């Protein structure tokens, strides 16, 4: 797994020597920010899943800052935020609203107002989306952090379990290969 991802990730010395990142070099010295091991990658996925639900363009910035703070893989954290996009954000926010309504007991049976994007243009997208989010109110404000924490929790343990399963599978394959070799030589 590591070999596959190493092809796509820049070497940490290259990143530290980049002219825009050089002033922050002291913060970027921790090896967990760049190494691919199960704890660092799982933490990066968890932070990326958590920060991916942050409204607006601050997802990658907040993921990078939290990755530096918690010393987990920075590129994985930033990349994982990309699960939210214009196609997935509205269903995820609707799920957050439903979760918040369920937790807060605010399910009154009233239908959630659908966003009216009939005459939507690129210059008023954020204001229309913001107006819709404000209209959702308390259930959304409760559900969004809960969904973000739930996704982060699930992502962290899913990566840890998947990593362990791959390692065990490789150990068994290696053991089987050596046993096969031993049997052929006997």
Successive 10-residue mean pLDDT values, the chain, 186 residues: 63 66 69 85 96 88 93 93 91 91 73 56 67 73 93 97 95 92 83
Please report, for residues 65, 174, 176, 178, 186, the alpha-carbon distance to residue 183 in angstroms, rounded to integers and kept in the order given: 54, 14, 10, 9, 5
* pLDDT number for residue 3: 65
* pLDDT number for residue 133: 65
**Chain position carrying tokens 């921790």:** 30
* pLDDT number for residue 1: 57
**Chain position carrying tokens 């957050």:** 96
* pLDDT number for residue 22: 66
Alpha carbon 150 to its chain centroid, in Å, reads 12
* pLDDT number for residue 160: 96
* pLDDT number for residue 49: 97
Please report, in angstroms and rounded to a whole number, the separation of the first and last CA atoms in the chain: 34
Q: Which tokens sit at 137? A: 């109110």
């Amino acid at each position: 797994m590591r070999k596959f991802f190493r092809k796509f990730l820049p070497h940490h010395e290259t990143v530290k020597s980049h002219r825009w990142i050089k002033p922050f070099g002291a913060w970027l010295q921790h090896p967990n920010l760049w190494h691919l091991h199960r704890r660092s990658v799982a933490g990066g996925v968890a932070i990326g899943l958590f920060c991916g639900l942050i409204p607006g363009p601050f997802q990658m910035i907040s993921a990078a800052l939290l990755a530096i703070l918690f010393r987990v893989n920075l590129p994985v954290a930033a990349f994982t935020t990309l699960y939210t996009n214009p196609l997935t954000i509205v269903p995820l926010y609707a799920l957050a609203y439903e979760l918040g309504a369920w937790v807060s007991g605010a399910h009154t049976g009233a239908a959630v107002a659908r966003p009216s994007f009939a005459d939507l243009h690129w210059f008023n997208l954020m204001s229309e989306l913001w107006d819709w989010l404000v209209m959702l109110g308390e259930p959304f404000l409760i559900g969004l952090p809960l969904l973000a924490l739930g996704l982060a929790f699930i992502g962290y343990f899913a990566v840890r379990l998947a990593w362990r399963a791959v390692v065990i599978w490789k150990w068994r394959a290696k053991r089987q290969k050596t046993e096969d070799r031993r049997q052929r030589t006997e």
